[in-house]
Amino acid sequence: MDEREDELLADELAALAAVAGGWGGLTRFVAKLMRKSVHEIDLVVALSFEDTVERVAHVLGRAGRRTDPVSETGEDQRTIRVVVGGGFGGMNPVVVTALVTKGEAATSQVRLRAAAKEGLIRQRAGERTATRLAALLDM
């Protein structure tokens, strides 16, 4: 999961640099060297597995842009990944990955992981984005 996160973050930062008139290739190289802010939150949702997958997909879809599908690990798990704007002015891309796992009876577990690159000024974009989205998912 981490390698693809790093690639997505580097691509997103390079695209932002190119739009701003910078060198996307150089930005992509530097982005790979930057440290990553990662925050994970585990939730138990009182919904069936299918309803939880639908809710997570809806909440994350409204928050950001879906990325390429993530390979699935089993029929009792679904992974949803989006890129969300975080940090100051929403200009720092954050890769958010939700792993929904079928639970007991009418519950499901959601592991929400948010990762962002950190520059010289720590914005804690990963932590803040994970916390914000977890609040929207928590019922």
- Say which CATH number the domain at 90 has: 3.30.530.20
**Count of Cβ atoms closer than 10 Å to residue 123 Cβ:** 18
pLDDT in tens, 19-32: 777 766 777 788 77
Q: Is residue 80 part of a domain?
A: yes
- With b for 16 or more beta-carbon neighbours within 10 A and e for fewer, the 49-81 pattern comes to beebbebbbebbeebbeebeeeeeeeeebbbbb
**Count of Cβ atoms closer than 10 Å to residue 45 Cβ:** 20
Q: Is residue 113 part of a domain?
A: yes
Domain that holds residue 48: 35-137
Q: Is residue 15 part of a domain?
A: no
Q: Is residue 8 part of a domain?
A: no
**Res 1: pLDDT:** 46
pLDDT in tens, 79-103: 999 999 987 777 789 999 999 999 8
Q: Is residue 82 part of a domain?
A: yes
**Res 139: pLDDT:** 56
Q: Which carries the bigger pLDDT value, residue 72 or residue 113?
A: 113
Q: Is residue 69 part of a domain?
A: yes
Q: Is residue 95 part of a domain?
A: yes
Give the total number of structural domains in the chain: 1
Q: What are the DSSP calls for 94-126, one per residue?
A: EEEEEEEEE-STT-EEEEEEEEEEE-SS---HH
Q: Is residue 46 part of a domain?
A: yes
In angstroms, the CA 103 to CA 136 distance is 20
Q: How confident is the prediction for the chain on average, in pLDDT?
A: 86
